[in-house]
Each structure stands twice: as C-alpha cells, then as structure tokens.
Chain A
C-alpha cells in the first residue's frame, strides 16, 4: 500500500518534470521566433514590409500568429490585430498577454493566451506580432492526460494486483490463526495447515508444527508420569488406610489413640481424594468417545443438583437459589454434566461465607443455554481466572479451605469434552462461573 502511494507520487513528479521541461522549451522557441520576426519586419521599408506581412498572413493558416500596425498613439492602421494592449513594452521584448488580443481574422471571442513582441518602426509606428501559446497549453493538457492515464493504468492495476496477490497469504494467515485458537485453548493435538507450495509461510507452519509435536510429546510424558505416580501411590495408600482402619477398630472410641488414628485417616482420605480427582481428570481428557451422549434435560439436572446441595448450603447458613426458565434439550452426557454442575455448585458453596448467597441461574441463548453459578464469596481476581482451572491451583486466600483444588479442573475437562466453554467473571463481591452449553458442532 505504502509502496503504491510512493510509486504514484514518483510517477507524478517525473511526468510533471517532463511537462515543465517541454513547456518551457516550447515557450522559449516561440519567444525567440516572434522576437526575431519583429526585428526582421522592423528593418524592411513600408511597401516591402506590408507585402511581407500579407504573405506572412497567407502562410499562417493555423492562425497562431497575428500582427498589427499602429500609429504612434496606438491607433489601428493595418494587420489582423485590431487593438494595441497598453502594457506591452515597445522594445522587442516578449511579453505574456493572458487575456489575448482582439483580432479581425478570427471569429468570435477566441482570446487565447498569447505571447507578444512589439517594436517601434523607423517612422514612429508600432508593429506587434503575437503567437498563440495555446499549443503549449494543449501539450500541457496532453501531458496531464498522459499523466492521469499513466497513473490510472499503473496505480489501479497495481493496487488490484497487490490486493489479489496479498489475498492468498492473507487467507492462509487467517487459516493459521484459526488453527492456533484451539491450540491456545489447550488442544495440543491440533496442527497448523501446511500447503504444498513450500514457501516461507509453509516453512514457518512446519517449524511450529514440529515444535508442537515436541511440546505434545513432553506434556504427554509429564502427564503420564503424573498419572503413573497417582496410580502407583493409590495402592499403598489404600493399604495404609485399611491398616489404620483395622487399628482404629481395636481402640475404643474416645481414647487418645483413636483420635490420633482418626486424624491420620482423614489425611489419608484427603490424599486419596486428590489422587482420585487427578486420575479422573486424565480419564476425562483421554476420553474421546461420546457413548454416554444423549438428549438431556438441563433443567432436570439443575433441579437435581439444587436438591443435592440445598441441605449443605442451609447447614452453612447460605441461601441456594435456583432460577430456571424453560430450556431446550441439549446433547450431552448426563452423568458428566451432573458432575460438572455439582462441582461448580460445591465450589461456590465452599467459598461463600456463612450468611452468603449462591445462585444457580440458567438462561437460554441461540447457540445453547448458559448456566451461571453466582456466589457472594470473595470472588476470583481477574489475573487468577485462567489459573484456577489449572490442576491443583488454588487462590492464595483459599489455601486454608479443604479440598483437592481439582474441582474446577474437572469442570473444565468435562466442558472441553462437550465442546462447552467455562467463563469466569464477577468482582470482589462474588464470583460468577458460567458454563455455556454450546450446541454441539457436527462431530
């Protein structure tokens, strides 16, 4: 674009220069011509001069040149020019008369610009010769037209061609951008499109894809290690828990030992819960099948979740409200959706202080219903919103609250499996977590 403008400007300057050169050269030539003619005629005696001037008239078929003889006071005597303009210097110097001269051989008011030279003859009369400069102007017009044509013939196809040429790469960059979106959202199996041209864009896409392969492999390894650790530690932990349980049975309730064993069991259970949640997430992430998918009634699920958690909220002195308009059926896995929504509600209840309020609000939309879970807890700071759905992440203020820190990761994994989105909003007066049950795209 910027090159186009630059090119047009440069072309304009070049053609303008040509015009200026040609015009000044032609002007100089005609000035010289009429100056010389005036000097020549002034040297002849009267009869010869008049004859020569008549011949001059006859030869001048294009009526570019004209002449006139005037007496010493400027009155017309003979010739084709009928009036002597007052401001013409009578010394043979060439002057420009923009308003033209009045002539008797040209009909109408054709007073084009003329250049004029006037000389005083020996008998005191004045001879003026003029030359129409419209030819120079016409050349100017021609040059100007050439300029415009030239510009339009270079600039318009230039821009058009440039646009056409850039459209291909533009489209490919767009395709690449579209392909990176799911990758940024965590779908590392996605790759950038690589064309067959092997140009710079393809090379770049190839490099990025190779990088993604490596990242995916490394992440897979890390995840595999995590899963293996979780899996392998579960067996000894379960065994530890059973031993504690058996030990607990041997001590009477209320004894000091029983209390200590109870505390150990609670810690072991928390550990087991965490491992279970971790394995659950990796199970959800590996699940590509959709065998449990069916038409489900979101409203019914919300009513169940509400009934399930209402006693818990009431025990904690909280209000748990359900706002449920009529919703269309959605295509989802009922059990997974229940699990996700339960986690959202449990999470909201956990972080809302006693006397607070948790609301479950459903709202229909064209591209699938939304479920908002709004609480009156401390809220999630905007810079931590992405982090809370990461595994194990817990906000600073929530470190003291029991829990695996994996609830929202599970919700997020279930949302991803469904092609739903989980949005986190709210302020310091409460968090709003919204699950958008986007209508399933064709699978």
Chain B
C-alpha cells in the first residue's frame, strides 16, 4: 500500500486531500509545519509528498530545496494558492515534480499523485511499452496494434507514450496538455478531446477492443477492459 506525506497547514485542505487519497487505498500522514515536515519527509517509507508552498516554520520552496540537497528523491507535488507561472517555474526548479494550484478538484490531485507514485516505483528502463495488444517501441519509434503497424504523427506518438506509461491511470486534460505539449495555459474548447479522438481513431479501429476510455468528468484512461 503506497504511503504519502501531506504537508499542509490548512486543516480543511489537508482533510480533503487525506479523504480523497485514503478513499483510493493510499495511506496518509499529515504534518502542518514546514520544518517538521522536512524531518519526516526524509523518511524513505513515503512514496510521495504533497507540499503546500506557504507553511509555518519553513516555506515549501525551502523544504523541497533542502530535501533535494539531502539527496531525497521522493516525488513532490507542490500545492500553492498562487497560479502565477513564475511561481510554478520556481517550484519545479527547486525540485518539485508537479505543481497544482488551489483550489483544485480532488480527482485532479489524485490523478497527479498517482502519476507521481507510478514514476517513483522502481522500474527497469523500458524500451517497449505494452498494453494488451498495443505495443510502443520507444527506440525505433514504432507503434503496433494487434501486430499491425500504426502511422502516428510525432505529437500522437508523444500522447500515446504518456497514456501508455500511465496505463490504467486517469489522466486529466490539463495533465495531458501540460505533459505532452509542455504548455501551461487553458487551450480552450475541446482541443485535447480532438487530439485524443484522432489517436483513438488510429488505435481503436473497428473490430478491436477499445483501449482509450473517456472518464466522465475527469479525463482519459488507457487500459484493457476486464
């Protein structure tokens, strides 16, 4: 069972995070103070950390900086009330792995934490990703579904790689846009849906079991249906 340290001084937010995570089978420890949080965060029993930027004792930016200086590699999700782009850049530069602004939807937070957990799990460097009969060769840049080669555009390849690396995981539109394109703004309308739609038409062709699923109200998930 994965274990997560929540460093958050606002009780309401902390409870919200804890409720969402425990509801999905994740153990949660809560700390409200920055310097105390830094001590606990060094414990290798944690699989990920959510870290508020504004904390008593020591601010989140210093916590993550010290943590990285100590050689602790536990993934950190920075949570801040500031949606300033500069703030995000600073948080990620200091060693944060992802950044979320308050107020956030709990499912968005959960999705981001789960991606961090998966990234943290020791995995042998893969050159071929496989989900059911879908294969993605990262070295030769080839995608195959049921043995048939698919012709993908570079963006579609990147999108599929992100979905496959996090197979079984709900990925929100914002996460997809931020990770695949590296942009941090609201692309408007149904832009991501259109891109997913294109990829879906290439992968889930008629007669094959669909692999890309729309998660109502959240985003998308690539998985083999049981």
A interface with B by C-beta (< 8 Å)? 234-235, 237-239, 241-242, 244-245, 248, 253, 258, 262, 265, 273, 276-277, 279-280, 283, 287, 289, 291-292, 304, 307-309, 311-312, 315, 335-336, 338-339, 342-343, 346, 349-350, 402-403, 407
Contact = CB atoms under 8 A, between A and B. Distances in A.
Interface string B79-92: 00001111001000
Best-buried of A253, A273, A315, A402 by chain B (most CB within 10 Å) = A315
Contact of B183 (A253, A292, A335): A335
Q: Which of B155, B186, B188, B218 has the most CB of A within 10 A?
A: B188
B185 A245 contact: no
B39 interface: no
B191 to A, nearest CB: 6
A335 B184 contact: yes
Interface stretch (B104-112, B130-138, B203-211): B104-112
Nearest to A234: B103
Contact of B188 (A244, A283, A287, A407): A407
B217 interface: yes
List of 3 A-B pairs having minimum Cβ-Cβ separation, nearest first = A238-B103, A339-B185, A235-B103
A343 B84 contact: no
Contacts of A307: 155
Contacts of B195: 311
Contacts of A346: 187-189, 191
Nearest to A233: B103
B140 interface: no
Interface residues of B, number: 29
B86 A292 contact: yes
Contacts of B103: 234-235, 237-239
Contacts of A289: 86
Of B181, B198, B216, the most chain A CB neighbours within 10 A belong to B216
A232 to B, nearest CB: 10
A292 B85 CA distance: 9
Nearest to B106: A242
Contacts of A244: 217
A242 B107 contact: yes
Contact of B187 (A235, A248, A342): A342
Given A238-B104, A308-B191, A338 B217 contact: no
A242 B105 CA distance: 6
Interface in B51-71: none
A245 B218 contact: yes
A75 B25 CA distance: 151
Nearest to B197: A315
A419 B195 CA distance: 33
Nearest to B184: A335
Nearest to A309: B191
B1 interface: no
B139 interface: no
B217 A312 contact: no
Given A292-B85, A312-B189, A346-B191, A262 B217 contact: yes
Interface string B154-188: 01000000000000000000000000010111111
Contact of B181 (A262, A287, A308): A308
A343 B188 contact: yes
Contact of B185 (A238, A239, A342, A350): A342
A298 B149 CA distance: 35
Given A238-B103, A308-B181, A338-B183, A245 B188 contact: no
Contacts of A343: 188
Contacts of A273: 186
Nearest to A338: B183
A336 B85 CA distance: 9
Contacts of B84: 283, 287
Contacts of B105: 238, 241-242, 245
A407 B187 CA distance: 10
A356 to B, nearest CB: 16
A338 B185 contact: yes
A248 B217 contact: yes
B10 to A, nearest CB: 11
A280 B189 CA distance: 17
Contacts of B217: 244-245, 248, 262, 265
A262 B183 CA distance: 27
Contacts of B216: 248, 253, 258, 262
A287 B197 CA distance: 37
Interface string B188-204: 11110011011000000
A180 B114 CA distance: 54
A289 B105 CA distance: 30
B3 to A, nearest CB: 24
A277 B188 CA distance: 10
Contact of A339 (B183, B189, B197): B183
Contacts of A277: 186
A248 B105 CA distance: 14
- Candidate in B83, B86, B107, B186 with the most chain A CB atoms within 10 angstroms: B186
A280 B194 contact: no
A312 B194 contact: yes
B83 A279 contact: yes
Contacts of A265: 217
Contacts of B186: 273, 276-277, 280
B194 A315 contact: yes
Contacts of A304: 181
Nearest to B177: A308
A339 B155 CA distance: 18
A280 B83 contact: yes
A283 B83 contact: yes
A335 B183 CA distance: 7
A276 B186 CA distance: 9
- Among A265, A308, A312, A402, chain B packs the most CB atoms within 10 A around the CB of A312
Given A239-B103, A245-B217, A283-B84, A403 B189 contact: yes
Nearest to B81: A231
